[in-house]
């Protein structure tokens, strides 16, 4: 029974863009720094008028503090504008902010929004730097900021102000460390996932190459033996065998090119082999001296590409093992379509035994198990060997 032909668009492969393989180009560190600097500058310019206005209001609320004058506003401006470089040079930014805010507090100006600059600078240091240098920078900033508790021109809260004063450094530092730890955890998870996917892809490609090359070489070896045997007495038959070798090698190379092309291009791929190619496989094996009876039962369905490929590879590998090890010239392949599943059975009456037919069985089992299916292989009671694979129509997720 003929299977419907497959087309790339049936598999959902789409071109993601002209001259694009579907992978986003990496963003250079220079571009990233430029964007971060622009964002930090915009943040500082937006924050500055708000902090200046709130500082003037704080002066009216705290009449006992030093009156807000030009010096106070200048110190506030320096502290806030320093945030424009907070991600570019976080330690230098924290040093400038700490110096400006400490001078503001020592001069006795009222507590107010200027402390937001400290909060942002400390948090940035905790996020951008490793824990040890970040902790040292934050501790130094805390010591300098607490100096106003002792040397202040206005009212001195003394040691009673240590706890609330420390909160402006300790809280953003703890939050920054938590953010950094979370980012590192996400990055580790992403790296491990990428490595795992790469390992799985390498295993998949190794299985594909094994199936393609192994089958092709087995067929070529058998055809070469036939040609050598016929050359002295029936040269015309030897030419037929050599022609089959040429055809088999070209087909194997074409299939290998499709497999390797799928590695190079993650977006648009050529159709992968499937059950629709069983007739061609049977024809190649006939040229190698193995006659295969192909039976298909049930209504052929549109199989998902991974299932279609796995079913084809099971049949291909099992028939290749028959060709190599069974010592017979006949085999049978039965494909059964049923609701929700498809099965492939390959049998022969040879004497290869489990050891010979076991070549490639591990790869077949891994391929089938990855899709939620089952594979059984073993000798038949009356002699010969049987490979049976059952695959769900929907791949296991």
Cα–Cα distance, 142 to 33 (Å, whole number) = 28
Domain positions in the chain: 29-156, 193-392
**b vs e for 182-211, b when ≥16 Cβ sit within 10 Å of the residue's Cβ?**
eeeeeeeeeeeeeeeeeeeeeebeebbebb
Contact between 218 and 261 under an 8 Å Cβ cutoff? The reply is: no
- pLDDT tens digits along 170-200: 999 999 999 999 999 998 888 888 888 777 7
Contact between 124 and 87 under an 8 Å Cβ cutoff? The reply is: yes
What torsion, rounded to 10 degrees, do the Cα atoms 238, 240, 244, 245 define?
Answer: 30
Considering the segment(s) 193-392 as one domain, its CATH architecture is 2-Layer Sandwich (3.30)
Cα–Cα distance, 131 to 14 (Å, whole number) = 45
Residue labelled with tokens 């192909």: 294
> What is the model's pLDDT at position 51?
93
> What is the model's pLDDT at position 8?
41
Cα–Cα distance, 239 to 245 (Å, whole number) = 10
> What is the model's pLDDT at position 191?
83
Tell me which residue of 207, 194, 211 sits closest to 370, measured CA to CA: 207
> What is the model's pLDDT at position 355?
42
Contact between 117 and 71 under an 8 Å Cβ cutoff? The reply is: no
Give the length of the chain. 397
Low-confidence ranges of the chain (pLDDT < 70): 1-28, 150-162, 204, 207-208, 210-219, 221-223, 226, 237, 241, 248, 251-252, 254-256, 258-272, 326, 351-360, 395-397
Tell me which residue of 175, 194, 51, 59 sits closest to 113, measured CA to CA: 51
Q: Which alpha helices (DSSP H) does 129-161 contain, by range? A: 131-145
């Amino acid at each position: 029974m003929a299977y419907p032909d497959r087309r790339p668009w049936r598999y959902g492969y789409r071109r993601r863009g002209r001259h694009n393989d579907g992978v986003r180009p990496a963003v250079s560190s220079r571009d990233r720094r430029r964007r971060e600097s622009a964002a930090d500058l915009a943040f500082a310019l937006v924050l500055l008028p708000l902090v200046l206005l709130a500082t003037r209001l704080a002066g009216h609320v705290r009449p006992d503090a030093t009156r807000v004058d030009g010096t106070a506003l200048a110190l506030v401006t320096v502290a806030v504008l320093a945030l424009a470089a907070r991600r570019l040079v976080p330690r230098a930014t924290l040093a400038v902010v700490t110096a400006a805010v400490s001078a503001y507090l020592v001069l006795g100006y009222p507590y107010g929004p200027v402390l937001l600059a400290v909060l942002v600078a400390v948090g940035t240091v905790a996020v951008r730097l490793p824990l040890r240098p970040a902790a040292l920078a934050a501790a130094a900033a805390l010591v300098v900021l607490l100096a106003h508790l002792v040397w202040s021109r206005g009212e001195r809260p003394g040691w009673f102000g240590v706890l609330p004063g420390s909160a402006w450094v300790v809280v953003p530092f703890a939050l920054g460390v938590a953010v950094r730890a979370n980012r590192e955890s996400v990055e580790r998870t992403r790296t491990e996932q990428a490595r795992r996917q790469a390992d799985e892809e390498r295993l998949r490609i190794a299985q594909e190459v094994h199936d393609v090359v192994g089958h092709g070489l087995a067929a070529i070896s058998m055809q070469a033996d036939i040609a050598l045997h016929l050359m002295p007495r029936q040269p015309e038959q030897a030419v037929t065998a050599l022609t089959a070798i040429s055809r088999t090698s070209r087909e194997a190379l074409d299939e290998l090119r499709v497999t390797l092309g799928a590695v190079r291009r993650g977006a648009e791929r050529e159709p992968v082999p499937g059950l629709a190619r069983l007739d061609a496989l049977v024809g190649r094996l006939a040229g190698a001296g193995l006659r295969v009876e192909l039976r298909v039962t049930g209504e052929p369905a549109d199989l998902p590409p991974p299932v279609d490929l796995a079913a084809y590879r099971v049949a291909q590998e099992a028939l290749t093992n028959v060709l190599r090890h069974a010592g017979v010239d006949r085999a049978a392949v039965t494909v059964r379509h049923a609701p929700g599943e498809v099965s492939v059975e390959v049998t022969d009456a040879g004497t290869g035994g489990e050891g010979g037919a076991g070549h490639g069985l591990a790869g077949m089992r891994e391929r089938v198990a990855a899709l939620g299916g089952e594979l059984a292989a073993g000798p038949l009671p009356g002699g010969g060997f049987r490979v049976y694979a059952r695959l769900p129509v929907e791949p296991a997720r």
